[in-house]
A and B are shown apart, each in its own frame.
Chain A
Amino acid sequence: DAMVIQNPRYQVTQFGKPVTLSCSQTLNHNVMYWYQQKSSQAPKLLFHYYDKDFNNEADTPDNFQSRRPNTSFCFLDIRSPGLGDAAMYLCATSSPRESSYEQYFGPGTRLTVT
């Protein structure tokens, strides 16, 4: 009964080689978020989609892009990964229709850059 699914769970990529991380949800939530969490740090919001509307945080590097082809799926593209992009990437969802404002997190994808 997984609600927010992330694939792969572990990803290794080479310096400068584009990589795509995937998130899917079975909750039919309007909003999907991507967070970056580096070791021993707090999650940091990169961007979110409200339906098809994309909203970028001001300090998110241009190297990070996102796509949401439909309600269920959202992708994080890292165009040219650097060593500093090694982190856990967390996808989350929420819906303004719900009385709770909870964000539901996926299990994360741990990205290693070699």
Chain B
Amino acid sequence: GENVEQHPSTLSVQEGDSAVIKCTYSDSASNYFPWYKQELGKRPQLIIDIRSNVGEKKDQRIAVTLNKTAKHFSLHITETQPEDSAVYFCAVARLLTGANNLFFGTGTRLTVIP
């Protein structure tokens, strides 16, 4: 399967500051890049995703950038709030005609300090 690296593994920021999480992947055929937020004991929740034909996507305080040539993509959270504290996973998939098997990064535990 795909090899996905994610950094940093932990990140602490002050409330109101920005947070950036980076991922790299190995399979150049990967073309779908979602980010999931997982709170303790809960299911992963999709927060934003991007396809390979787009370089950047933004949704309110959250943005994702993709550099397909370099095979890396990043999550940017601005104006962080305590409720942003969670584990964030990047993932990659090669969209086929049916399934889109997700290969996850190792996760980043984000703590937003009030």
Do A and B assemble together?
yes
| Residue of chain A at shortest CB distance from B103 | A45
- Chain A's interface size range is 20 to 34
Q: How far is the CA of A103 from the CA of B32 in the complex (A)?
A: 12
**Cβ B43 vs Cβ A94 within 8 A:** no
Q: How far is the CA of A44 from the CA of B97 in the complex (A)?
A: 21
| Residue of chain A at shortest CB distance from B89 | A42
Question: Which B residues are in CB contact (< 8 Å) with A58?
Answer: 1
* Residue in B1, B42, B51, B102 whose Cβ sees the most chain A Cβ within 10 Å: B102
Q: How far is the CA of A50 from the CA of B95 in the complex (A)?
A: 13
Nearest-Cβ distance from residue B76 to partner chain A, whole angstroms: 20
**Cβ B106 vs Cβ A94 within 8 A:** no
Question: What is the predominant secondary structure among interface residues of chain B facing chain A?
Answer: loop
**Cβ A101 vs Cβ B99 within 8 A:** no
| Residue of chain A at shortest CB distance from B46 | A102
Would you list the 7 A-B pairs with minimal beta carbon distance, nearest first?
Answer: A42-B104, A105-B43, A50-B98, A31-B99, A48-B99, A102-B46, A101-B100
20 contacting pairs across A/B (C-beta < 8 A): A31-B99, A33-B102, A42-B89, A43-B44, A43-B102, A43-B104, A44-B104, A48-B101, A50-B98, A55-B99, A57-B1, A57-B101, A94-B99, A101-B34, A101-B51, A101-B95, A102-B34, A102-B46, A103-B46, A103-B100
